[in-house]
Amino acid sequence: MINFKLNNNLIDEFNENGYLILDKFIHSEYLDELRNKFEPLFKGDFETGIEPDEWNWKFNRDPMNVTRQICNAWKSDNLIKQLVCHRIIGEICSKLMNWSGARLIQDNLLWKPPGGKTLSYHQDAAYDDWIIPQTMLTCWMSMDDTSIEKGTLEYVRGSHKWGLQPPKGKFHSPDDYKKELNSFAKKNNKKIEITYVKVPAGGAAFHHGYMWHGSGINNSREDRRAIVSHCVPSNAKFHPTNEGGTAKTYKKFKREGSDFLDNKQFPILF
């Protein structure tokens, strides 16, 4: 399903830029089957009978021109699980971040249809204040050819070195999706240098949890779909006190009297 080998030059590139963009990552013979999972899942057709932890867009309920998201589709579909829990993803995350191992903290199915609106610039790890250490590495895998016109993922080169800020502003479909980024950069005298993730279907991008990133409007007539693995260190634990943010969704898996992350809910990849 995945065929990729990391080397020291690529690790150096990641450390410098905060991201690693790969034209080839998923074997092409899997792409049609993966793309065909999107519509049934967003219609509530769950192969395993288990509903995802977050299901933020539904047919016949929500506007058609917004970016659609499901979180933890791996619990609902076996092929999605095979991809987002792949050992190679865990190994790459561990080597890029110098972790002893990696586990999946969350997956995303992202579907930006024609006219699909923006996602605000943000840092993924800012939403991870319910775990210790508050860190993350994201593997973003594209199911379609990407371009600026399609509203592809955008990175601010080197921004993983700027530190971690609490999340602010509207996340989905803000009028100005760069507002929080521009505000932070101006306040802290940072230079913004944007890189657009332009890869063919089956390509991928890894980015540091502190990386500022977002995406613009899909101005094309084609879908832009991606499947995402968010990984944390294998020895990460629940924060003993923090109950805010996404903890409201995921702290229900916390065992009484223990900060342990259950492998059944947060699988070890490597």
Instruction: Please state, rounded to an integer, the average pLDDT across all residues of the chain.
Output: 95
- Whether pLDDT at 246 is above 80: no
Look up residue 73 and give its DSSP letter: G
Question: Which pLDDT tens digit goes with each residue over 43-101?
Answer: 999 999 999 999 989 888 888 888 899 999 999 999 999 999 999 999 999 999 999 99
pLDDT the model gives residue 172: 83
pLDDT the model gives residue 108: 97
Whether residue 213 lies inside any domain: the answer is yes
pLDDT the model gives residue 243: 73
Domain range for residue 48?
A: 8-253
More confident residue, 64 or 211: 211
- Six token digits for residue 243: 């109950």
pLDDT the model gives residue 155: 98
11 and 4 Cβ atoms separated by less than 8 Å: no
Whether residue 260 lies inside any domain: the answer is no
CATH number of the structural domain spanning residue 63: 2.60.120.620
pLDDT the model gives residue 100: 98
Q: How would you label 133-157 residue by residue, b for 16+ Cβ within 10 Å and e otherwise?
A: ebbbbbbbbbbbbbbeebbbbbbbb
Whether residue 197 lies inside any domain: the answer is yes
> What would the mean pLDDT of 195-223 be, rounded to a whole number?
98
Whether residue 3 lies inside any domain: the answer is no
pLDDT the model gives residue 158: 98
pLDDT the model gives residue 71: 96
Strands 237-238 and 102-112: unpaired
Per-residue pLDDT band for 129 (boundaries 50, 70, 90) equals very high
Domain count of the chain?
1
SS3 36: coil
- Whether pLDDT at 146 is above 80: yes
- Whether pLDDT at 173 is above 90: no
Whether residue 95 lies inside any domain: the answer is yes
Whether residue 229 lies inside any domain: the answer is yes
Distance CA 121, CA 63 (A): 22
- Whether pLDDT at 217 is above 80: yes
pLDDT the model gives residue 244: 66
